[in-house]
Structure 1
Amino acid sequence: MSPENEQDETDTLPARARSRWSRVSQWSGTRWGRFNTWRAGRPFLGGLLLCLAGVLITWVPMQILPDLAFIGGQMAGFLAIGALFGVFVFLTGIYVLVKPAHADVAGVVGTVLAIFSLFGSLGGLLVGMLLGILGGNLCLAWKPRDDVVDDAVSEPSVVDKAAARIDAGFGRLVGRLLLSCRAGIDRIKRWGTDE
């Protein structure tokens, strides 16, 4: 092989690698961008924590339930209810990710079910219950970006205006009471010095 052919191959190899890398980065960049857009439109972390809590809550009774299924009794039913709580917590997490408009209701349901899982499956050794409560609260607190309004820009509501009027009236009342109390104390001091 001549040295010219070796140099041509080395020049084209980095160019090919850059070309392939740019195609891969463009492909992954568009997918990552679409995922970020999808994620920003819903309470992603709250839904993810609810799903993880559901798995942990279901895991605990499923470790014991197969052994007790043959024996039967009340304990098997108790553990089955605990496993159902875990499945429902997982499903609320999926529901939040699919229907973000109902995130507040699903967050409350997920939190309540996570708390009730304490009775059927020890709350996933308490870790699942705590993750479910946290995920439910994140779903409850989530607001879509379109509904977020800066407080400095928005007008005060009717309730805020009424509260401001009540506060101003209360301030005037307290001011009058303080003035009358001071005047009374001054009269008492003068009356004590006149005698």
Structure 2
Amino acid sequence: MLLSRRQGRQRTGRWRRWRRQRPFWGGLFAVLAGAWICVLPLAPLKVMLQQGVAGIPSVLMGVVMIVLGLTAWFSPPQRNLAGVLTTLIATAALVLSNLGGFLIGTLLGIVGGGLMFAWQPHTTARRGTGSAGSPTAPTGSAPESAPSPPTPHHDPQGAHQS
């Protein structure tokens, strides 16, 4: 009994760590939007607003949105491109795909793309910065302004290196 509870806690902990290390909710909304836009043209004709030429772009846009959502999950450094493309495709689906899946797919795609683009990885603050002996602290003169805190996220381009 104790072993199964411990395993359950470990699985829950691993799931939480995995989910927090990537734009999970943005990817989930993008996958749901893609599935909604993709499946809607396959519905019966009574439900469809328009059949024919709108069916092919709908399925393609839905598949691409699902792939972009999965890209945000499994390759978080690509989240900015995936977020922008998801938002653009969701907006294009409004015109090309039965009002973007009756507006539901478009709204989910825009929200998901925005969440993917806005997500930043969380890193812990560095200890020991800003002390009196640090090279950034001026000596012998009054400081004009407080030194800026270190960036709270990883900077892949290296713009904030000291």
Same fold (TM over 0.5): yes
Mapped partners of 2:55, 2:65: distance in 1: 15
Equivalent in the alignment of 1:60:
40
What SS does the aligned partner of 1:77 have?
coil
TM-fit CA distance, 1:56:
0.8
Mapped partners of 1:148, 1:115: distance in 2: 38
Given that 1:103 and 1:140 are in contact with CA atoms closer than 8 Å, whether structure 2 keeps it comes out as yes
- AA at the equivalent of 1:33: G
Equivalent in the alignment of 1:130:
107
Mapped partners of 1:92, 1:75: distance in 2: 26
Find the partner of 1:99 among 75, 90, 94.
75
Q: Identity, % of aligned pairs?
A: 36
Residues 155-170 of structure 1 aligned to structure 2 (within 5 Å) = none
What SS does the aligned partner of 1:146 have?
coil
Mapped partners of 2:51, 2:150: distance in 1: 56
Structure with the larger helix share: 1
Pairwise CA RMSD: 2.5
TM-score, normalised to structure 2's length?
0.70
TM-fit CA distance, 1:131:
0.6
Given that 1:56 and 1:128 are in contact with CA atoms closer than 8 Å, whether structure 2 keeps it comes out as yes
Equivalent in the alignment of 2:21:
41
TM-fit CA distance, 1:146:
2.9
- AA at the equivalent of 1:87: V
Equivalent in the alignment of 1:76:
52
TM-fit CA distance, 1:81:
0.9
- AA at the equivalent of 1:153: P
TM-score, normalised to structure 1's length?
0.59
Q: What is the count of residue pairs matched by the alignment?
A: 127
For structure 1, which runs of at least 5 residues remain unmatched after alignment? 1-19, 66-73, 156-195
- AA at the equivalent of 1:118: L
Given that 1:115 and 1:133 are in contact with CA atoms closer than 8 Å, whether structure 2 keeps it comes out as yes
TM-fit CA distance, 1:86:
1.1
Mapped partners of 1:75, 1:45: distance in 2: 32
Bigger radius of gyration: 1
1:24 aligns with 2:4: yes
Find the partner of 2:118 among 141, 144, 148.
141
Equivalent in the alignment of 1:10:
none
Runs of 4+ in 1 over 6 A off after TM superposition: none
Mapped partners of 1:37, 1:25: distance in 2: 18
TM-fit CA distance, 1:48:
0.5
Residues 113-124 of structure 1 aligned to structure 2 (within 5 Å) = 113-121=89-97, 122-124=99-101
TM-fit CA distance, 1:116:
0.8
